[in-house]
Amino acid sequence: MLAAEAGASRNTLMAYRGDLAAAAAALGRLGDADAEALKSLGGQWQDLAASTVARRASALRRFYGFLYEDGLRADDPSDVLPRPKIKRPLPRLLSAEEVEGMLVDAADRAASGERLPRRDHALLELLYGSGLRASELVALPRRAVRPGEPFLILKGKGEKERLVPISTAAHRAVAAWLEEAPEGAWLFPGEKAHLSRVRLFQIVRAMAARVGIAPERVSPHVLRHAFATHLLEGGADLRTLQALLGHADIATTQIYTHVDSRRLVELVNKRHPLARQDLKTGNALGD
């Protein structure tokens, strides 16, 4: 159902399978478990992070909801599962200057003509310049970035397609990489298929360390956050950002308003109609 009707990604399907398998190991046959059995999971999960408990409970609620809706059991016992409150953390951030340092170093290394520095430069330009998810980036087909085309069509979470802008710098970096890239189906091939997300994580951290940035501050997702935050600082609106990031719900995108709250206050003071000049005092009402 998750694959055929909800269009869940492979990673989502694997996560659900893992959570259901863990519950089955604790309870036995899940389809026969009653509310009392599900209550016992709360005690077993008490040492887990709230986010992990929420994810496991969500998987089970989805499972029992499916059984109930399809008439495979007469009740849905999942209401007894815990619902921990989760405070969404603010994303870790890199400044524009820090990312620029990584890009300059990557470009300098790529200029040597060596194969792997060219690959790493192309990876970094696409991560920061287009805001791709790690899973989206490593799985790009070899000819995904077409010469002269300012966008690529990407199939992201939930198999939903979106247009992703490709900068001139990214075009140049990818073109240079393709001169050295091994033949195959993937833009960034790995040992067996495409480059793995784990290997991408390692590459990005090594690039950060070379320019004096603490590696633990950097990951592919941090660069995606930097893409979004720096666009917002430059004046992008949330709806545009939502489309570029491929968020299904704008509430997910709204986390960036907390990151850049100072700039949003300035924007209201400058652009809101109530911030116009007061005719009597000559002062801006927003001041």
pLDDT in tens, 116-125: 999 999 999 9
pLDDT at residue 236 greater than cutoff 80: no
Rounded mean pLDDT of 221-236?
79
By three-state DSSP, how is residue 154 classified? strand
| 153 domain-assigned | yes
The pLDDT tens digits for 211-225 are 999 998 899 988 888
pLDDT greater than 50 at residue 2: yes
Give a yes or no: residue 276 inside a domain: no
Residue 231 CB-density burial (10 A; 0-12 exposed, 13-18 middle, 19+ buried): middle
CATH number at residue 188: 1.10.443.10
- Determine, yes or no, domain membership for 275: no
pTM: 0.60
- Whether the CB-CB separation of 232 and 267 falls below 8 Å is answered with no
Does some domain include residue 129? Answer: yes
Residues 76 and 167 in one domain: no
* Contacts of 189 by beta carbon, 8 Å cutoff, 6+ apart: 181, 182, 195
Buried b (16+ CB within 10 A) or exposed e, 96-132: eebbebbbebbbebbeeeeeebbbbbbbbbbbbbbbb
Q: Answer yes or no: is 68 within a domain.
A: yes
For 211, the domain range is 96-263
Q: Note whether residue 33 is domain-resident.
A: yes
Tell me, yes or no, whether 120 and 221 share the same domain.
Answer: yes
One domain for residues 44 and 116: no
pLDDT at 90 exceeding the cut of 70? no
Residues above pLDDT 70, as percent of the chain: 76
114 and 65 in a common domain: no
Read off the CATH number of the domain in which 33 is found. 1.10.150.130
Which of 240 and 21 is assigned the larger pLDDT? 21
Domain count of the fold of the chain: 2
If asked whether residues 76 and 152 sit together in one domain, one would say no
Say yes or no: 113 and 240 in one domain.
Answer: yes
- So which residues are the catalytic ones? 133, 157, 221, 224, 247, 256
CA dist., res. 97 & res. 286, Å (int): 31
Domain membership of residue 273 (yes or no) is no
For residue 152, being part of any structural domain is answered with yes
**Residue 40 and residue 140 in one domain:** no
Q: Are residues 161 and 70 in the same domain?
A: no
Instruction: Based on the fold, state whether residues 103 and 230 are members of the same structural domain.
Output: yes
66-89 average pLDDT score = 84
Same domain? 228 vs 101: yes
Mean of the pLDDT values across residues 113-135? Answer: 90
Report yes or no: 251 and 241 within 8 Å, Cβ to Cβ.
Answer: no
